[in-house]
Amino acid sequence: MANKLNIDLSKCVGCGACESACPFGAISLKDGKAAVNAETCRFCGSCVQACPVSAITMQKEEVKDAVDKSLYKGVWVYAEQRHGEISSVVYELLNKGSELAKTLNVSLSAILIGSNISAKAQDLINRGADKVYVYDDPILAEFQDDPYSCILADLIKEEKPEIVLMGATNIGRSFASRVAAKIYTGLTADCTALEIDPETRNLMQTRPAFGGNIMATILTPRHRPQMATVRHKVFKEAKVQEGRTGEVINKTVDAQKVINRTKFIGFFKDQTADVNISDADIIVSGGRGLGNPEGFKLIKELADLLGGAVGASRAAVDSDWIPYSHQVGQTGRTVAPKIYIACGISGQIQHMVGMSSSDTIIAINKDKDCPMMQTATYSLVGDLYEIIPAIIKEIKNIKG
């Protein structure tokens, strides 16, 4: 819909109420009557409400869809993999994708691109995919933006899915935007919730906005497909259904059409974290309340005893107390462990976004009124340098 502002000059009394109410200076009085500047008007409606004689009205005009939406059917999940290992976020997206496909009464498909990965198609079918499109070619052995985005964009143009979902990983964040640009559609990044509007079939894509202070729901009403990247651990993984049947569609790569403006030099795996915090069942995190980087020795000792991983708040990472790979939150990793222990973390909303899905939250802090202590399942009020050593001692006594 597009808005149009109408002024009935026969009703206008030239009181100037609309001029005073307009925050953009788009309305002025000319010859004793209200006049609107179409270039500066933002159609906020302030003048409509301010007019005491109802001389100003807002008219909505129908805007045509950019594409024929009836041609687009199906929910797709990009099955991100690296060196033959499918990312766990893919199984989470297949779970949610299956729910969305059921609501829309369409099929769920997975797109698998790489080298020597054809055998992984059945794993995706076992997790809920009805179809798997497979591009298996040596030139796709290493992920690179140009060839991967060209292949997926061409397939989307050919098959016309209604929805395309990707993980908000390093690959997904780089890759998805390129695909969206090639097919002239919108992209909502870092989503934390996805739902279908049954009347319009629009995908309601919810994500944190304004630094995590609000949750915004974004629509792509005029374009298709609707694309979104989703943060890891937002949804539960799809359960394995051994022996499930589905269709595998093998696609060929035309090497002559593959454009690649970069050269792959090498792959270096991150060695800074002993345990990937995104996959850990137990996480012990430290924040500004530790007071110094030495406090993470205590955090690590507790995490090791519990068989867990070490996490951190942004404040601790920004202070160079611990590497970024440990950061939990909106600008770090999203986690959903069985137990999350927050030590000296006040609980700013940006941090809470990244760990609020934890099954059990234990908070240790001197400030009993901070957000983390109010949100936690169990709150321990006191000095963490007294509480954590006591917990460590008790665990060692139990273990003998």
Task: Provide the pLDDT for residue 197.
Answer: 95
Query: Is 270 contained in some domain?
Result: no
DSSP states of 18-58: HHHH-TTS-EEEETTEEEE-TTT----SHHHHH-TT--EEE
Instruction: Name the residue range of residue 92's domain.
Output: 69-251
The average pLDDT across 388-398 equals 93
Whether residues 157 and 243 share a domain: the answer is yes
Q: pLDDT for 301-355, tens place per residue?
A: 999 999 999 999 999 999 999 999 899 988 888 888 999 999 999 999 889 988 9
Query: Is 210 contained in some domain?
Result: yes
Q: pLDDT for 184-205, tens place per residue?
A: 999 999 898 999 999 999 999 9
Whether residues 80 and 49 share a domain: the answer is no
Q: Residue 113, Cβ neighbours under 10 Å: how many?
A: 24
DSSP states of 43-105: --SHHHHH-TT--EEEEEE----SS-GGG---EEEE--EETTEE-HHHHHHHHHHHHHHHHHT
Whether residues 238 and 341 share a domain: the answer is no
β-pairing, 75-78 vs 56-61, is unpaired
Query: Is 294 contained in some domain?
Result: yes
Task: Provide the pLDDT for residue 272.
Answer: 56
Phi-psi region for residue 204, left (φ > 0), alpha (ψ -120 to 50) or beta?
beta
Which of residues 229, 251, 273 is at a domain's end? Answer: 251
Whether residues 26 and 42 share a domain: the answer is yes
* Predicted TM-score (pTM) of this structure: 0.72
β-pairing, 85-86 vs 193-196, is unpaired
Task: Provide the pLDDT for residue 274.
Answer: 58
Greatest C-alpha distance within the chain:
92
Query: Is 243 contained in some domain?
Result: yes
Whether residues 369 and 233 share a domain: the answer is no
Which of residues 23, 39, 61 is at a domain's end? Answer: 61
- What the block records as the tokens of 91 is 């199984």
Task: Provide the pLDDT for residue 271.
Answer: 62
Whether residues 80 and 219 share a domain: the answer is yes
Q: For residues 178 and 205, give the distance between their C-alpha atoms in angstroms, rounded to a whole number.
A: 19
Query: Is 272 contained in some domain?
Result: no
- What the block records as the tokens of 216 is 């915004």
Radius of gyration of the chain measured on its C-alpha atoms: 26
The average pLDDT across 120-144 equals 95
Q: Measuring CA to CA, how many Å separate 227 from each of 223, 339, 393?
A: 10, 32, 50
Query: Is 83 contained in some domain?
Result: yes
Q: For residues 52 and 20, give the distance between their C-alpha atoms in angstroms, rounded to a whole number.
A: 13
DSSP state of 222: S
Number of folded domains that form the chain? 3
Whether residues 220 and 302 share a domain: the answer is no
Task: Give the CATH number, domain containing residue 28.
Answer: 3.30.70.20
Task: Identify whether the C-beta of residue 61 lies closer than 8 Å to the C-beta of residue 4.
Answer: yes
Task: Give the CATH number, domain containing residue 188.
Answer: 3.40.50.620
Calculate the CA dihedral of residues 37, 38, 43, 45 and round it to 10 degrees.
40
Query: Is 192 contained in some domain?
Result: yes
- Percent of the chain past pLDDT 90, that is, above it, reads 73
Whether residues 44 and 81 share a domain: the answer is no
Instruction: Please state the φ and ψ torsions of residue 80, each to the nearest 5 degrees.
Output: -60, 135
| Comparison of pLDDT for 67 and 274, the residue scoring more | 67
Task: Provide the pLDDT for residue 7.
Answer: 92
CA-wise closest residue to 290 among 331, 355, 334, 346: 346
Whether residues 178 and 294 share a domain: the answer is no
Instruction: Please state the φ and ψ torsions of residue 349, each to the nearest 5 degrees.
Output: -60, -30
| Comparison of pLDDT for 214 and 155, the residue scoring more | 155
CA-wise closest residue to 56 among 106, 4, 107: 4
β-pairing, 81-82 vs 85-86, is antiparallel
Q: For residues 172 and 333, give the distance between their C-alpha atoms in angstroms, rounded to a whole number.
A: 14
| Comparison of pLDDT for 207 and 342, the residue scoring more | 342
Whether residues 295 and 390 share a domain: the answer is yes
Q: pLDDT for 263-312, tens place per residue?
A: 888 887 766 555 678 888 999 999 999 999 999 999 999 999 999 999 99
Whether residues 164 and 205 share a domain: the answer is yes
Task: Give the CATH number, domain containing residue 382.
Answer: 3.40.50.1220
pLDDT at residue 399 above 90?
Answer: no
Calculate the CA dihedral of residues 285, 287, 292, 294 and round it to 10 degrees.
0
- Percent of the chain past pLDDT 70, that is, above it, reads 96
Spatial CB neighbours of 250, under 8 Å, sequence gap ≥ 6 = 118, 134, 136
Which of residues 61, 77, 100 is at a domain's end? Answer: 61
Residue 92 banded pLDDT, cuts 50, 70, 90 = very high
Whether residues 205 and 353 share a domain: the answer is no
Task: Provide the pLDDT for residue 2.
Answer: 59
Query: Is 261 contained in some domain?
Result: no
pLDDT at residue 13 above 90?
Answer: yes
Task: Provide the pLDDT for residue 260.
Answer: 84
In terms of C-beta density within 10 A (0-12 exposed, 13-18 middle, 19 or more buried), how is residue 315 classed? Answer: buried
pLDDT at residue 180 above 60?
Answer: yes
Query: In terms of residues, how long is the chain?
Result: 400
